[in-house]
A and B are shown apart, each in its own frame.
Chain A
Amino acid sequence: MIWIDVLVQGILLGGLYALFAAGLSLVFGIMRLVNLAHGDLIVFAAFAILLITGTLGLNPFLAALLAAPLMFAAGWTLQRFVLNRVLGKDILPPLLVTFGLSVALQNGMLEIFSADSQRLSVGRLESASIDLGVVTVGTLPLLTFASAVGVIFVLNRIFYTTALGRAFRAVSDDPTTASLMGLNPKSIFAIATGLAMVIVTLAALYLGMRSNFDPSIGPARLLYAFQAVIIGGLGSLWGTLAGGAIIGVAQTFGAQINPEWQILAGHIAFLVVLLIRPRGLFPRAVD
């Protein structure tokens, strides 16, 4: 019985990892850019939400609603004025710029917010749970997973049914030809990174409500996000959810055996998948 419980907790935890991963996957899919500061941006968004809850006395959900457009603007600006200038055939410059950003963000947050652990407090919701018969699950983990499903559903709708999504796919295929069709790839990239930062805000909301966070935890979130993307297969958002769930389940099983093995078990699961399915579970034909 306990193993079913562990399995369900793991899958729900995977929802959080899928939220971490969706923004990373979106940006990579459209401009082949790997943002090494992705994890730190999640932590940054969590602090932004914390700051808004503190100063305006709002509940974290409303605070995230306010933080989202700010994060969109931050992402848009970052892409427009920094990352667009280093994107090109050579993968080294964008990697190094985002790595520099990662170090700068971590230490900037350390100065401003100190190394103390923080949490977004949502009162009773933190401990609320729902009895599903076989297992009892926390309301918050369930909400996280539902949000991940929602985000992926909406992203897929945007990608495949809107003019913006069409533009995303066109610039991803061939930026030069896309510009001949009247699209400005650099503006589209900026919108994409802005959108990724909105998802990052949502991920930060759940990260902050479910566990403690401090300025140093960004890189580990980046690694989970990355593993979910690779396990799922590049370009497949639903695959990313599955990837997140696999990491989550591996971690909860690992923790059940020995709490020190939680993180390690997730990493090992990633290596196993990479070993037997190098292109992930649901690779796209193209790419």
Chain B
Amino acid sequence: MTHSVTTRTRASSIAGIAALALIGVGLILPAFASRSLIQDLFFILTMLTLAQLWNLIAGFGGMVSVGQQAFVGIGAYAMFAGVILWGWDPVPAILLGGLAAFLLAIPMAFFAFRLAGAYFAIGTWVIAEITRLLVAQWKTLGGGTGTSLPREATADIIGVATIADVFGLRDAAARDVLAYWLALALAVGTMAAIYALLRSRTGLALAAVRDNDNAAQSVGVDARRVKWTVFLSAATMTGFVGALIYVQTARISPDAAFSVTNWTAYVIFIAVIGGIGRLEGPILGVLVFWGLQTVFADYGSWYLLALGLLAIATMLFAPRGLWGLIHDRTGIALFPVQRRLVTTEPNKT
């Protein structure tokens, strides 16, 4: 009899093939899809990525950040700075966004990790506020009122002309296609990286740290290093997403780029409704969220009120979200991270 540890299940093998097929369809989709569908998918993919990243630090890592808007905002502003101040092309300037978010995450982690338990959450919020107030003082980027990407910068983004030629689109639509492809790459890359991380030794360490810091330390897990690594990586990725979102929007202001509603509340609700602590959760959550957004967004604050109440109800009655309900009924796990012991009987001869 042989034993081996695996995380693979039948559903996960099917899901793996389905995911590859979906990515393939996603790549060639701009050839047939309408511009508004591409824009919707851009929104879905970026929100999904943000939700996966929040889920990584809060759901898997137990670091409940309410300050993710800091990384979206600083990422977007760094990209703007690259374009406006240094004449970069907007797409490579997205890299500046990730770098800036990384640099901001260092002091944020330094301060917030000093705070006891749940006060960590407000600590991250404070740092986000400070960043917003400081950026609003940056007069060359429009100060408190914000600014737009200059027309000449958006006009000749690398690749846009080619896309326009190949698909026979106008420049604005071609820009959306490029942004969509980048969003797809970010979403897939983020989820693949998170999945790989959770299945690695660091993922185990993260689970140990989340469940009990001290106990994890006593079995030799360097809790600080694990938390820092995960927090900084998630911040960097969030910065990329923020920069990408504002490449597509092309107009920025501190209030929008550092909006706690858009970049943290929505993101948390997506993860909560879909299911915290599972990779499938935000995928389901973002689809539900997009549906609600499409149907009810015109109701403005009533919609937000209902979303808040829905999140509360989910935490009370189905704390592991919609995916948790599905998983409990069916046992399906598309991206299993639990390790199972498999026993193979040797063939009797």
Contact = CB atoms under 8 A, between A and B. Distances in A.
Interface of A: 28, 32-34, 36, 82, 85-86, 90-97, 99-108, 110-111, 219-220, 222-223, 226-227, 229-230, 234, 260, 263-264, 267-268, 270-271, 274-275, 278, 287
A101 B310 CA distance: 10
Given A100-B311, A267-B126, 8 more contacts: A86-B315, A86-B316, A92-B58, A94-B118, A96-B276, A99-B268, A267-B130, A267-B133
Contact of A287 (B116, B125, B260, B261): B116
Interface stretch (B217-225, B283-291, B299-307): B299-307
B130 A97 contact: no
A97 B312 contact: yes
26 contacts: A36-B66, A36-B121, A85-B316, A91-B62, A91-B117, A96-B311, A97-B311, A103-B261, A103-B304, A104-B305, A106-B304, A107-B303, A107-B304, A107-B308, A108-B305, A111-B302, A219-B260, A220-B129, A222-B125, A223-B122, A223-B129, A226-B123, A263-B129, A267-B129, A267-B130, A274-B115
Contacts of A267: 126, 129-130, 133
B143 to A, nearest CB: 9
Contact of B66 (A99, A229, A264): A99
A interface majority secondary structure: helix
Task: Determine chain B's interface SS by DSSP, over half rule.
Answer: helix
Given A103-B261, A104-B309, A111-B302, A34 B268 contact: no
B243 to A, nearest CB: 24
Contact of B312 (A82, A90, A278): A82
A26 B59 CA distance: 27
B64 A95 contact: yes
Contacts of B312: 82, 97, 100-101, 104
Nearest to B117: A91
B301 A34 contact: no
Nearest to B311: A100
Given A86-B315, A260-B137, A226 B130 contact: no
Contacts of A268: 130
Nearest to B118: A34
B268 A263 contact: no
A220 B133 CA distance: 12
B142 interface: no
Contacts of B133: 263-264, 267
B272 interface: yes
A111 B311 contact: no
A189 to B, nearest CB: 15
Contacts of A287: 116
Contacts, number: 128
B269 A100 contact: yes
Contacts of B315: 86, 93, 96-97, 100
A223 B301 contact: no
A105 B111 CA distance: 29
Interface residues of B, number: 43
B57 to A, nearest CB: 11
B316 A91 contact: no
A96 B310 CA distance: 11
Kindly name the residue among B66, B111, B265, B312 whose own CB sees the greatest number of chain A CB atoms within 10 A. B312
Given A102-B308, A107-B304, A107-B305, A226 B119 contact: yes
Contacts of B276: 92, 96
Most buried by B among A102, A220, A274: A274
A262 to B, nearest CB: 10
Nearest to A91: B118
B10 interface: no
Nearest to A105: B308
Contacts of B59: 92
Given A86-B316, A223-B129, A271-B111, A100 B118 contact: no
A91 B276 CA distance: 13
A226 B122 contact: yes
A110 B316 contact: no
Contacts of A234: 116
Contacts of A275: 111
Nearest to A110: B301
Contacts of A230: 115, 119
Contacts of A101: 308, 312
Nearest to A275: B111
A220 B260 CA distance: 12
Contact of B114 (A97, A99, A263, A274): A274
A1 to B, nearest CB: 29
Contacts of B119: 28, 34, 226, 229-230
Contact of B272 (A36, A96, A110): A96
Nearest to B143: A260
A266 B40 CA distance: 40
Contacts of A110: 301
B319 A264 contact: no
Nearest to B64: A95
A104 B308 contact: yes
Contact of B118 (A33, A108, A227, A264): A33
Contacts of B304: 103-104, 106-107
Contacts of A270: 126
Interface in B53-69: 58-59, 62, 64, 66
A263 B129 CA distance: 10
Contacts of B158: none
B128 to A, nearest CB: 10
